[in-house]
Amino acid sequence: MISECQMHIASFGQTPEGQVIQIFTLEIPGVIKASIMTLGATLTELHVPDRFGKMEDVVLGFDSLEGYLQDAYQQEYCYLGATIGRVAGRTNGNRFEIEGRLYQLPENQGDVHLHGGVSGWDRKLWVGKPFQSENEIGVDFSLFSPNGEEGYPGNIHVSVRYAVNLEGELKISYEATTDHATIINPTNHSYFNLSGDHSETIFDHELTIPAEHYLPIDGSCFPLEELKNVSGSPFDFRKSRKIGVALAENHPQLKNGNGIDHAFKLNTSNPEIILYHPKSGRRMTCITTAPAVQVYTSNHFKGTYPGKSNSYYKQHAAICLETQGFPNAANRPDFPTIRLNPNETFESQTIFKFTIQ
């Protein structure tokens, strides 16, 4: 039973249309503190201890709602901490077919339909409902996504549960149903920097990914056909490696992504990804039911506007571990399906567990 836990619900401000955005803070003192707002079911803060017990925020974001609503940020489609849907990543040709019908998806980042489109789930107002169980406290966010939204078929009811527990875990669980065959591939787009200093890069972070294969991309970051073995490439994180060392390698795939912006095929018997920051001692273990992880090393940050505590986010200021189905899975019968049929329930769960090493 969690006796020390605390839950705060507050207003985070209003949109120009007058919608009130709520923010839920889940706290287990000295262990973990997470804040999530109803706009985009977005993780805005995540505080965890370093080896001296100092609690610091390990995700990028803004101190106020205005930061998230500013034009410069909205136009970049950066998705700091947001829930991504309906479909994470890129779908080649911005199109897919279901039951003989072709669906063309609207472009939002240049000529790409990215992360659910112009107004994806990251921009929707979710309804948040707090809960408490014997072992955890959390919030259930729910959303109705109507048929045709951003070009996708099917009326979808989706929920995202954020929960924290005494083990220092943040658990994110997705559930969705539809009334028409469709595709769904949600994820969370948190940018982690375990140093707690958001003006730093993540070059000194060490990364372990139990993946033998990654999916190469073209110059526009669209996934190519063939999975490649990580062996002898900057994408070999089977043994822990410093991210800065991998990024410094001279490899055409790093040029295409401007850094790492690639999906890794997870080893299903050991889907544990580890991010470690030696200086603070913070260690994050990411455990997922998803078949892949899109690793993105904040390659396009330009530091043009201030983030939290007036820090300017520069290139490689953080890393995203977007656990999900493969990008472009809608057009790839050889990948685990992202199709959702009526009378089925989509389910997926990712745990971010924080410990000290």
Q: What residue numbers does the annotated binding site for beta-D-galactose cover?
A: 189-191, 261
Q: Could you tell me the CA-to-CA distances from 315 to 198, 228, 285, 297, 298 in Å, in that order?
A: 11, 26, 24, 8, 6
Q: How far is C-alpha 286 from the geometric centre of its chain's CA atoms?
A: 12
- Taking residues 145 to 184 in sequence order and writing x for each that binds ligand BGC by CB under 6 A, - otherwise, the string is ----------------------------------------
Question: Which pair of structure tokens corresponds to residue 261?
Answer: 């912006």
Question: Token match 């056909």: residue?
Answer: 225
Which helix (H) or strand (E) segment holds residue 301: the answer is: none
User: Applying CB under 6 A, does 141 fall inside the site for ligand BGC?
Assistant: no
**Shortest CB 91 distance to ligand BGC, Å:** 12
As measured in angstroms, the least distance from the Cβ of 231 to ligand BGC is: 23
Provide the token pair at 17: 């249309």
> Tokens 């998803």 correspond to what residue?
290
Question: Dmax over Cα atoms in the chain, in whole Å?
Answer: 59
- Cα(163)–Cα(198) distance, integer angstroms: 24
Examine the residue annotation and report whether 189 is marked as an active-site residue of this protein. Answer: yes
Catalytic member of 27, 45, 150, 322: 322
Which x/- pattern over 94-123 shows residues binding ligand BGC (rule: CB under 6 A)?
A: --------------------x---------
Name which of 65 and 80 has its Cβ closer to ligand BGC.
80
Sites for ligand BGC among residues 58-77 (CB under 6 A)? 77
**Binding segment toward ligand BGC, per CB under 6 A, in 38-46, 94-102, 292-300, 333-341:** 292-300
CB 297 within 8 A of CB 260: yes
Among 234, 261, 266, 340, binds ligand BGC (CB under 6 A): 261
Work out whether 221 is an interface residue with ligand BGC (CB under 6 A): yes
The reply on whether position 78 binds ligand BGC by CB under 6 A is: yes
Of the residues 113, 115, 189, 316, only one is catalytic, namely 189
Bind-site residues: 189-191, 261
Kindly tell me the sign of the dihedral angle through the C-alpha atoms of 193, 197, 200, 206. Answer: negative
User: Is residue 119 within 8 Å of residue 150, measured between CB atoms?
Assistant: yes
Residues recorded for the chain: 357
Pairing type for strands 261-265 and 320-324 reads unpaired
Q: Which residues are catalytic?
A: 189, 322
Instruction: Please give the residue ranges that form the binding site for ligand BGC (CB under 6 A).
Output: 77-79, 89, 114, 221, 261, 294, 296, 300, 320, 322
